[in-house]
Amino acid sequence: MSRLQRKHLAAPATRAERRGSLLRRVIKHIRQTGLRLRAPLAPAPAPVANTTPAPSTGNVPRLTAQDTDIQERPALQQLTRMLRRQGLAAGEQVPPGISFIEAATADAVPYTEGAMQGDEQQVTVALVDSGVDANHPDLVYAGGKSWLRRPSRRMPGDSTDPGVDFFGHGTHVAGIIGARNSGRGIVGVAPGQPVFSLKVLDGSGQGALSDALAAVRWAAGREGRAYNIKVINLSIAAYVSPDSDDAEDTLRIVCQIFQEASDAGVLVITAAGNYQDSLLNYVPAACPAVAAVTAVDPSSRAASPFSNYLPAHAPAADKARVMAAPGSGVMSTMSIQREPSRYSSLSAAEPHLWWQELRLSQDCVELSQDAACLPACLPAGFWELSGTSQASPHVAGIAATCIQSGACRPSSTGMQKLAVLQAAARQRMAQRRPYGFRGDPASAKGAASFLAWAKFWDG
Protein backbone atom coordinates (compact mmCIF):
# COMPACT_ATOMS: atom_id res chain seq x y z
CA MET A 1 0.00 0.00 0.00
CA SER A 2 1.41 3.39 -0.97
CA ARG A 3 1.59 6.42 1.30
CA LEU A 4 -1.33 7.91 -0.59
CA GLN A 5 -3.48 4.84 0.07
CA ARG A 6 -2.96 4.59 3.84
CA LYS A 7 -5.96 5.61 5.91
CA HIS A 8 -5.60 7.70 9.02
CA LEU A 9 -7.37 5.97 11.92
CA ALA A 10 -9.40 8.71 13.57
CA ALA A 11 -12.94 9.88 14.15
CA PRO A 12 -14.95 10.46 10.96
CA ALA A 13 -13.94 13.75 9.38
CA THR A 14 -16.27 16.48 8.24
CA ARG A 15 -16.51 17.25 4.50
CA ALA A 16 -14.36 20.35 4.97
CA GLU A 17 -11.75 18.37 6.91
CA ARG A 18 -11.68 15.68 4.23
CA ARG A 19 -11.16 18.26 1.49
CA GLY A 20 -8.41 19.96 3.49
CA SER A 21 -6.70 16.65 4.16
CA LEU A 22 -6.89 15.73 0.48
CA LEU A 23 -5.28 18.97 -0.60
CA ARG A 24 -2.51 18.62 2.00
CA ARG A 25 -1.74 15.14 0.70
CA VAL A 26 -1.65 16.40 -2.87
CA ILE A 27 0.69 19.23 -1.92
CA LYS A 28 2.99 16.92 0.06
CA HIS A 29 3.11 14.34 -2.72
CA ILE A 30 3.80 16.89 -5.45
CA ARG A 31 6.50 18.65 -3.45
CA GLN A 32 8.19 15.32 -2.74
CA THR A 33 8.37 14.61 -6.47
CA GLY A 34 9.70 18.09 -7.22
CA LEU A 35 6.94 18.92 -9.67
CA ARG A 36 6.91 22.52 -10.84
CA LEU A 37 4.78 24.58 -13.17
CA ARG A 38 6.23 26.24 -16.23
CA ALA A 39 4.40 28.50 -18.64
CA PRO A 40 4.67 27.69 -22.37
CA LEU A 41 7.55 29.90 -23.41
CA ALA A 42 10.17 27.17 -23.36
CA PRO A 43 8.33 23.83 -23.21
CA ALA A 44 10.02 20.47 -22.81
CA PRO A 45 10.88 18.76 -26.11
CA ALA A 46 7.66 17.56 -27.70
CA PRO A 47 7.38 13.83 -28.32
CA VAL A 48 6.27 12.76 -31.78
CA ALA A 49 2.90 11.00 -31.69
CA ASN A 50 3.17 7.28 -30.88
CA THR A 51 6.76 7.56 -29.59
CA THR A 52 8.26 7.69 -26.11
CA PRO A 53 6.79 10.57 -24.08
CA ALA A 54 8.79 13.44 -22.67
CA PRO A 55 11.08 12.54 -19.74
CA SER A 56 9.75 13.09 -16.27
CA THR A 57 11.13 14.65 -13.11
CA GLY A 58 10.95 11.95 -10.46
CA ASN A 59 7.72 10.06 -10.96
CA VAL A 60 5.87 13.05 -12.39
CA PRO A 61 7.20 15.37 -15.12
CA ARG A 62 7.67 19.10 -15.26
CA LEU A 63 4.84 21.29 -16.50
CA THR A 64 4.42 23.90 -19.16
CA ALA A 65 1.87 26.76 -19.18
CA GLN A 66 -0.57 25.44 -21.06
CA ASP A 67 -23.89 14.58 -15.50
CA THR A 68 -25.72 16.19 -18.21
CA ASP A 69 -29.04 18.01 -17.77
CA ILE A 70 -30.02 17.50 -21.43
CA GLN A 71 -32.40 14.55 -21.58
CA GLU A 72 -32.81 14.86 -25.33
CA ARG A 73 -31.25 16.95 -28.04
CA PRO A 74 -33.67 19.82 -28.76
CA ALA A 75 -33.61 21.96 -31.88
CA LEU A 76 -30.68 24.37 -31.88
CA GLN A 77 -32.83 27.47 -31.63
CA GLN A 78 -34.60 25.96 -28.58
CA LEU A 79 -31.33 25.06 -26.90
CA THR A 80 -29.69 28.43 -27.26
CA ARG A 81 -31.32 31.27 -25.39
CA MET A 82 -29.80 34.43 -26.70
CA LEU A 83 -27.86 37.44 -25.46
CA ARG A 84 -28.60 40.75 -27.13
CA ARG A 85 -26.27 42.02 -29.83
CA GLN A 86 -24.40 45.31 -30.04
CA GLY A 87 -22.66 46.94 -32.95
CA LEU A 88 -18.94 46.43 -33.46
CA ALA A 89 -17.23 49.64 -32.39
CA ALA A 90 -15.50 51.65 -35.10
CA GLY A 91 -11.82 50.75 -35.23
CA GLU A 92 -12.33 47.41 -33.45
CA GLN A 93 -10.70 44.33 -34.98
CA VAL A 94 -12.22 40.83 -34.98
CA PRO A 95 -9.45 38.17 -34.83
CA PRO A 96 -9.93 35.30 -37.32
CA GLY A 97 -10.47 32.76 -34.52
CA ILE A 98 -13.27 34.83 -33.01
CA SER A 99 -15.20 34.96 -36.28
CA PHE A 100 -14.35 31.28 -36.97
CA ILE A 101 -16.39 30.17 -33.93
CA GLU A 102 -19.06 32.80 -34.67
CA ALA A 103 -18.38 34.79 -31.51
CA ALA A 104 -18.64 37.96 -33.62
CA THR A 105 -19.68 39.06 -37.08
CA ALA A 106 -18.24 41.77 -39.27
CA ASP A 107 -20.50 44.34 -37.63
CA ALA A 108 -21.77 42.94 -34.31
CA VAL A 109 -20.73 41.26 -31.05
CA PRO A 110 -22.69 39.89 -28.07
CA TYR A 111 -23.68 42.30 -25.32
CA THR A 112 -22.22 40.73 -22.17
CA GLU A 113 -21.39 43.57 -19.78
CA GLY A 114 -24.07 43.53 -17.09
CA ALA A 115 -26.03 40.92 -19.04
CA MET A 116 -27.31 38.90 -16.06
CA GLN A 117 -31.00 39.43 -15.32
CA GLY A 118 -32.79 40.26 -12.06
CA ASP A 119 -30.82 39.72 -8.88
CA GLU A 120 -28.24 37.47 -10.52
CA GLN A 121 -24.66 38.66 -10.20
CA GLN A 122 -22.41 39.13 -13.23
CA VAL A 123 -20.54 35.90 -13.95
CA THR A 124 -16.77 36.01 -13.39
CA VAL A 125 -14.16 33.89 -15.16
CA ALA A 126 -11.10 33.00 -13.06
CA LEU A 127 -7.67 32.50 -14.65
CA VAL A 128 -5.10 30.25 -12.97
CA ASP A 129 -2.08 31.78 -14.66
CA SER A 130 0.73 34.36 -14.46
CA GLY A 131 -1.51 37.22 -13.38
CA VAL A 132 -3.56 39.71 -15.37
CA ASP A 133 -2.57 43.29 -16.16
CA ALA A 134 -5.15 45.11 -14.02
CA ASN A 135 -4.54 48.39 -15.84
CA HIS A 136 -4.92 47.17 -19.40
CA PRO A 137 -7.58 49.44 -20.95
CA ASP A 138 -9.16 46.61 -22.95
CA LEU A 139 -9.78 44.31 -19.96
CA VAL A 140 -12.31 44.23 -17.10
CA TYR A 141 -10.28 43.24 -14.04
CA ALA A 142 -12.53 41.88 -11.27
CA GLY A 143 -9.78 41.34 -8.69
CA GLY A 144 -7.22 38.71 -7.88
CA LYS A 145 -5.36 36.56 -5.38
CA SER A 146 -1.76 35.39 -5.48
CA TRP A 147 -0.19 32.16 -4.27
CA LEU A 148 3.35 33.26 -5.07
CA ARG A 149 5.65 33.53 -2.07
CA ARG A 150 8.21 35.69 -3.84
CA PRO A 151 8.74 37.21 -7.29
CA SER A 152 11.09 35.66 -9.81
CA ARG A 153 14.74 36.23 -8.95
CA ARG A 154 15.64 36.01 -12.63
CA MET A 155 13.24 38.74 -13.75
CA PRO A 156 13.95 42.11 -12.09
CA GLY A 157 10.74 44.07 -11.68
CA ASP A 158 8.55 41.00 -11.18
CA SER A 159 5.83 41.12 -8.53
CA THR A 160 3.57 38.74 -6.60
CA ASP A 161 0.66 41.15 -7.19
CA PRO A 162 -2.10 39.27 -9.10
CA GLY A 163 -2.81 42.48 -11.02
CA VAL A 164 0.72 42.52 -12.42
CA ASP A 165 1.61 40.13 -15.25
CA PHE A 166 5.33 40.41 -15.90
CA PHE A 167 5.33 37.18 -17.90
CA GLY A 168 2.40 38.18 -20.12
CA HIS A 169 0.69 34.81 -20.56
CA GLY A 170 -2.32 35.44 -18.30
CA THR A 171 -3.08 38.82 -19.86
CA HIS A 172 -3.10 37.26 -23.32
CA VAL A 173 -5.54 34.58 -22.13
CA ALA A 174 -7.74 37.25 -20.51
CA GLY A 175 -8.08 39.18 -23.76
CA ILE A 176 -9.20 36.11 -25.69
CA ILE A 177 -11.99 35.68 -23.16
CA GLY A 178 -13.16 39.24 -22.75
CA ALA A 179 -11.30 42.02 -24.58
CA ARG A 180 -13.69 44.96 -24.73
CA ASN A 181 -15.59 46.25 -27.73
CA SER A 182 -13.88 49.59 -27.18
CA GLY A 183 -12.85 50.61 -30.68
CA ARG A 184 -9.16 50.53 -29.84
CA GLY A 185 -7.93 46.97 -30.38
CA ILE A 186 -9.24 43.44 -30.72
CA VAL A 187 -12.51 42.02 -29.43
CA GLY A 188 -12.76 38.90 -27.23
CA VAL A 189 -15.26 36.05 -27.25
CA ALA A 190 -17.35 37.74 -24.54
CA PRO A 191 -16.53 41.47 -24.81
CA GLY A 192 -16.19 43.08 -21.40
CA GLN A 193 -16.30 39.77 -19.51
CA PRO A 194 -14.85 40.30 -15.99
CA VAL A 195 -11.79 38.17 -15.21
CA PHE A 196 -10.36 37.26 -11.81
CA SER A 197 -6.62 36.63 -11.56
CA LEU A 198 -5.44 33.57 -9.62
CA LYS A 199 -1.69 34.03 -9.82
CA VAL A 200 0.44 30.90 -9.56
CA LEU A 201 3.19 31.63 -12.12
CA ASP A 202 5.95 34.19 -11.61
CA GLY A 203 7.56 36.50 -14.15
CA SER A 204 9.65 33.69 -15.63
CA GLY A 205 6.66 31.37 -15.98
CA GLN A 206 7.53 29.22 -12.95
CA GLY A 207 5.15 28.02 -10.26
CA ALA A 208 4.02 25.03 -8.17
CA LEU A 209 1.25 22.64 -9.16
CA SER A 210 0.14 22.56 -5.53
CA ASP A 211 -0.56 26.29 -5.78
CA ALA A 212 -2.61 25.79 -8.96
CA LEU A 213 -4.72 23.16 -7.23
CA ALA A 214 -5.15 25.38 -4.19
CA ALA A 215 -6.28 28.20 -6.48
CA VAL A 216 -8.93 25.98 -8.10
CA ARG A 217 -10.18 24.89 -4.70
CA TRP A 218 -10.34 28.51 -3.51
CA ALA A 219 -12.23 29.67 -6.61
CA ALA A 220 -14.78 26.86 -6.35
CA GLY A 221 -15.29 27.43 -2.63
CA ARG A 222 -16.92 30.06 -0.46
CA GLU A 223 -14.40 32.75 -1.39
CA GLY A 224 -14.93 32.23 -5.12
CA ARG A 225 -18.70 32.28 -4.73
CA ALA A 226 -18.44 35.82 -3.38
CA TYR A 227 -17.19 36.83 -6.85
CA ASN A 228 -19.68 34.54 -8.65
CA ILE A 229 -16.87 32.58 -10.28
CA LYS A 230 -18.57 30.03 -12.53
CA VAL A 231 -15.75 29.31 -14.98
CA ILE A 232 -12.05 28.59 -14.33
CA ASN A 233 -9.46 28.52 -17.12
CA LEU A 234 -6.15 26.68 -16.69
CA SER A 235 -3.81 26.97 -19.66
CA ILE A 236 -1.36 24.43 -18.21
CA ALA A 237 -0.60 20.78 -18.94
CA ALA A 238 1.47 18.23 -16.97
CA TYR A 239 2.64 14.92 -18.40
CA VAL A 240 2.01 11.94 -16.11
CA SER A 241 3.81 8.79 -17.18
CA PRO A 242 1.37 5.86 -17.27
CA ASP A 243 4.32 3.63 -16.36
CA SER A 244 5.10 5.40 -13.08
CA ASP A 245 4.26 3.57 -9.86
CA ASP A 246 2.05 6.34 -8.54
CA ALA A 247 0.36 7.48 -11.77
CA GLU A 248 -3.03 6.12 -10.71
CA ASP A 249 -2.84 7.73 -7.27
CA THR A 250 -1.67 11.03 -8.74
CA LEU A 251 -4.53 11.16 -11.23
CA ARG A 252 -7.11 10.12 -8.66
CA ILE A 253 -6.14 12.72 -6.09
CA VAL A 254 -5.48 15.59 -8.50
CA CYS A 255 -8.70 14.92 -10.42
CA GLN A 256 -10.71 14.91 -7.20
CA ILE A 257 -10.04 18.64 -6.86
CA PHE A 258 -11.62 19.25 -10.26
CA GLN A 259 -14.56 16.96 -9.52
CA GLU A 260 -15.32 19.01 -6.42
CA ALA A 261 -15.20 22.19 -8.49
CA SER A 262 -17.69 20.78 -11.00
CA ASP A 263 -19.97 19.62 -8.19
CA ALA A 264 -19.89 23.19 -6.86
CA GLY A 265 -21.23 24.49 -10.18
CA VAL A 266 -17.91 25.64 -11.66
CA LEU A 267 -16.90 24.64 -15.18
CA VAL A 268 -13.13 24.03 -15.33
CA ILE A 269 -11.61 24.43 -18.79
CA THR A 270 -8.03 23.43 -19.50
CA ALA A 271 -5.54 23.31 -22.35
CA ALA A 272 -4.95 19.86 -23.87
CA GLY A 273 -1.18 20.44 -24.14
CA ASN A 274 1.28 21.19 -26.95
CA TYR A 275 3.11 17.87 -27.40
CA GLN A 276 1.42 16.11 -30.35
CA ASP A 277 0.52 13.41 -27.84
CA SER A 278 -2.59 11.89 -26.28
CA LEU A 279 -4.16 14.42 -23.92
CA LEU A 280 -5.03 11.50 -21.61
CA ASN A 281 -1.36 11.48 -20.53
CA TYR A 282 -1.63 15.00 -19.12
CA VAL A 283 -3.35 16.69 -16.20
CA PRO A 284 -5.64 18.49 -15.79
CA ALA A 285 -6.77 17.48 -19.33
CA ALA A 286 -7.05 13.79 -18.38
CA CYS A 287 -9.40 14.48 -15.47
CA PRO A 288 -13.02 13.40 -16.09
CA ALA A 289 -14.55 16.58 -14.63
CA VAL A 290 -12.82 19.15 -16.86
CA ALA A 291 -13.34 20.37 -20.42
CA ALA A 292 -10.13 19.67 -22.35
CA VAL A 293 -9.51 21.89 -25.37
CA THR A 294 -7.41 21.02 -28.41
CA ALA A 295 -6.19 23.61 -30.92
CA VAL A 296 -7.37 24.29 -34.47
CA ASP A 297 -5.88 26.58 -37.11
CA PRO A 298 -8.72 28.82 -38.38
CA SER A 299 -6.96 29.42 -41.70
CA SER A 300 -6.69 25.74 -42.63
CA ARG A 301 -9.65 24.42 -40.59
CA ALA A 302 -7.37 21.59 -39.48
CA ALA A 303 -5.84 20.60 -36.17
CA SER A 304 -2.89 22.76 -35.16
CA PRO A 305 0.24 20.63 -35.68
CA PHE A 306 1.47 21.12 -32.11
CA SER A 307 -1.78 20.18 -30.37
CA ASN A 308 -2.36 17.19 -28.15
CA TYR A 309 -5.37 15.15 -29.21
CA LEU A 310 -7.89 12.57 -28.05
CA PRO A 311 -7.06 9.06 -29.35
CA ALA A 312 -9.63 7.30 -31.53
CA HIS A 313 -9.97 4.52 -28.94
CA ALA A 314 -10.83 6.96 -26.13
CA PRO A 315 -13.94 6.20 -24.06
CA ALA A 316 -17.20 7.93 -24.96
CA ALA A 317 -17.08 9.85 -21.67
CA ASP A 318 -13.84 11.53 -22.76
CA LYS A 319 -15.21 12.31 -26.21
CA ALA A 320 -18.11 14.09 -24.50
CA ARG A 321 -15.81 16.53 -22.70
CA VAL A 322 -13.18 17.37 -25.34
CA MET A 323 -13.65 20.34 -27.66
CA ALA A 324 -11.54 22.14 -30.23
CA ALA A 325 -11.01 25.90 -30.52
CA PRO A 326 -8.72 28.32 -32.38
CA GLY A 327 -5.13 28.04 -31.16
CA SER A 328 -2.88 29.12 -34.04
CA GLY A 329 -1.85 32.74 -34.53
CA VAL A 330 -4.17 34.20 -31.89
CA MET A 331 -3.99 37.96 -31.43
CA SER A 332 -4.85 39.22 -27.94
CA THR A 333 -3.93 41.63 -25.18
CA MET A 334 -0.33 42.14 -24.08
CA SER A 335 0.72 43.04 -20.56
CA ILE A 336 2.08 46.58 -20.57
CA GLN A 337 4.15 45.70 -17.49
CA ARG A 338 6.53 43.56 -19.48
CA GLU A 339 9.49 45.29 -21.11
CA PRO A 340 8.63 45.60 -24.84
CA SER A 341 12.28 45.32 -25.85
CA ARG A 342 12.27 41.70 -24.68
CA TYR A 343 9.55 40.60 -27.08
CA SER A 344 11.85 40.09 -30.04
CA SER A 345 13.81 37.49 -28.05
CA LEU A 346 10.77 35.41 -27.18
CA SER A 347 10.27 33.52 -30.44
CA ALA A 348 10.48 29.93 -29.21
CA ALA A 349 12.65 27.41 -31.00
CA GLU A 350 10.01 24.71 -30.59
CA PRO A 351 7.89 24.31 -33.75
CA HIS A 352 4.70 23.67 -31.79
CA LEU A 353 4.60 26.92 -29.83
CA TRP A 354 5.85 30.37 -30.60
CA TRP A 355 5.55 33.97 -29.54
CA GLN A 356 5.62 36.03 -32.72
CA GLU A 357 8.38 38.57 -32.92
CA LEU A 358 7.03 42.09 -32.52
CA ARG A 359 8.28 45.49 -33.56
CA LEU A 360 6.67 48.31 -31.64
CA SER A 361 6.03 51.65 -33.27
CA GLN A 362 4.28 54.66 -31.83
CA ASP A 363 0.94 53.79 -33.38
CA CYS A 364 0.73 50.04 -33.83
CA VAL A 365 2.20 46.59 -33.30
CA GLU A 366 3.63 45.09 -36.48
CA LEU A 367 4.22 41.37 -36.74
CA SER A 368 7.37 39.94 -38.24
CA GLN A 369 7.33 39.51 -42.01
CA ASP A 370 6.29 35.87 -42.06
CA ALA A 371 3.39 36.31 -39.64
CA ALA A 372 -0.27 36.60 -40.51
CA CYS A 373 -1.62 39.98 -39.48
CA LEU A 374 -5.03 41.47 -38.78
CA PRO A 375 -6.43 43.74 -41.50
CA ALA A 376 -5.30 46.90 -39.72
CA CYS A 377 -2.61 47.98 -37.31
CA LEU A 378 -3.40 47.67 -33.63
CA PRO A 379 -2.31 50.00 -30.85
CA ALA A 380 0.53 48.87 -28.62
CA GLY A 381 -0.68 46.39 -26.01
CA PHE A 382 -1.56 43.45 -28.28
CA TRP A 383 0.41 40.47 -29.60
CA GLU A 384 0.05 37.08 -31.28
CA LEU A 385 0.63 33.69 -29.64
CA SER A 386 -0.09 30.07 -30.56
CA GLY A 387 -0.84 27.05 -28.38
CA THR A 388 -3.62 25.14 -26.67
CA SER A 389 -3.19 27.84 -24.01
CA GLN A 390 -4.89 30.11 -26.53
CA ALA A 391 -7.57 27.55 -27.50
CA SER A 392 -8.79 26.98 -23.96
CA PRO A 393 -9.87 30.59 -23.20
CA HIS A 394 -12.04 30.63 -26.34
CA VAL A 395 -14.17 27.95 -24.68
CA ALA A 396 -14.03 29.78 -21.34
CA GLY A 397 -15.49 32.85 -23.03
CA ILE A 398 -18.20 30.77 -24.68
CA ALA A 399 -19.07 29.23 -21.30
CA ALA A 400 -19.50 32.70 -19.82
CA THR A 401 -21.89 33.74 -22.61
CA CYS A 402 -23.81 30.47 -22.24
CA ILE A 403 -24.35 31.13 -18.53
CA GLN A 404 -25.29 34.76 -19.04
CA SER A 405 -27.73 33.90 -21.82
CA GLY A 406 -29.51 31.43 -19.56
CA ALA A 407 -28.80 28.47 -21.84
CA CYS A 408 -26.42 27.15 -19.15
CA ARG A 409 -28.13 27.27 -15.78
CA PRO A 410 -25.92 28.97 -13.16
CA SER A 411 -26.97 26.39 -10.54
CA SER A 412 -26.03 23.38 -12.69
CA THR A 413 -22.79 21.46 -12.24
CA GLY A 414 -19.75 22.29 -14.29
CA MET A 415 -20.18 19.20 -16.44
CA GLN A 416 -23.86 19.98 -17.01
CA LYS A 417 -22.80 23.36 -18.37
CA LEU A 418 -20.27 21.65 -20.64
CA ALA A 419 -23.01 19.33 -21.93
CA VAL A 420 -24.91 22.36 -23.23
CA LEU A 421 -21.81 23.63 -25.05
CA GLN A 422 -21.19 20.18 -26.55
CA ALA A 423 -24.81 19.76 -27.66
CA ALA A 424 -24.77 23.13 -29.41
CA ALA A 425 -21.46 22.33 -31.15
CA ARG A 426 -22.69 18.93 -32.33
CA GLN A 427 -25.91 20.34 -33.71
CA ARG A 428 -24.07 23.14 -35.47
CA MET A 429 -21.83 20.55 -37.09
CA ALA A 430 -24.85 18.54 -38.22
CA GLN A 431 -26.49 21.59 -39.76
CA ARG A 432 -23.41 22.84 -41.56
CA ARG A 433 -20.85 20.15 -42.20
CA PRO A 434 -17.99 22.44 -43.31
CA TYR A 435 -18.18 24.10 -39.89
CA GLY A 436 -15.59 22.79 -37.46
CA PHE A 437 -12.98 20.05 -37.25
CA ARG A 438 -13.61 16.35 -36.73
CA GLY A 439 -10.13 14.92 -37.11
CA ASP A 440 -8.91 12.16 -39.41
CA PRO A 441 -10.67 8.82 -38.74
CA ALA A 442 -7.85 6.97 -40.49
CA SER A 443 -5.19 8.12 -38.03
CA ALA A 444 -4.38 7.54 -34.38
CA LYS A 445 -5.63 11.07 -33.78
CA GLY A 446 -9.04 10.27 -35.21
CA ALA A 447 -11.43 10.91 -32.34
CA ALA A 448 -13.90 13.65 -33.16
CA SER A 449 -13.15 16.93 -31.46
CA PHE A 450 -16.08 19.22 -32.14
CA LEU A 451 -15.32 22.85 -32.72
CA ALA A 452 -16.71 25.04 -29.95
CA TRP A 453 -19.61 27.20 -31.11
CA ALA A 454 -20.12 30.65 -29.60
CA LYS A 455 -23.50 31.71 -30.96
CA PHE A 456 -25.31 32.13 -27.63
CA TRP A 457 -26.26 35.60 -28.83
CA ASP A 458 -28.59 37.17 -31.37
CA GLY A 459 -26.00 37.83 -34.05
Asked whether 170 and 132 are in contact (CB, 8 A), the reply is yes
User: How far is Cα 84 from Cα 313, in angstroms, rounded to an integer?
Assistant: 41
Pairing mode, strands 37-38 and 206-207: antiparallel
Residues 6+ apart with CB under 8 A from 308: 237, 272, 273, 274, 275, 276, 277, 278, 279, 282, 285, 294, 388
CA separation for the pair 428, 77 (Å, rounded): 10
Q: How far does CA 131 lie from the centroid of its chain?
A: 14
Do strands 322-326 and 291-297 pair parallel, antiparallel, or not at all (unpaired)?
parallel
Q: Please give the Cα distance from 141 to 379 (Å, whole number).
A: 20
Measuring CA to CA, which residue among 120, 393, 163, 423 is closest to residue 267? 393
Measure the CA–CA gap between 47 and 92, rounded to whole angstroms: 39
What is the distance between the alpha carbons of residues 93 and 160, in angstroms, rounded to a whole number? 32
Between CA 387 and CA 393 the distance in angstroms is 11
Residue 90 burial (CB count, 10 A)? 7
Nearest CA-CA partner of 427 in 400, 452, 394, 391? 452
Measured over the CA atoms of residue 374, residue 380, residue 381 and residue 386, the dihedral's sign is positive
Give the catalytic positions in this structure: 129, 169, 347
Q: How far apart are CA 439 and CA 441, in angstroms?
A: 6
Tell me how crowded residue 47 is: count the other CB atoms within 10 A of its CB: 16
**Omega before residue 315 within 30° of 0, cis:** no
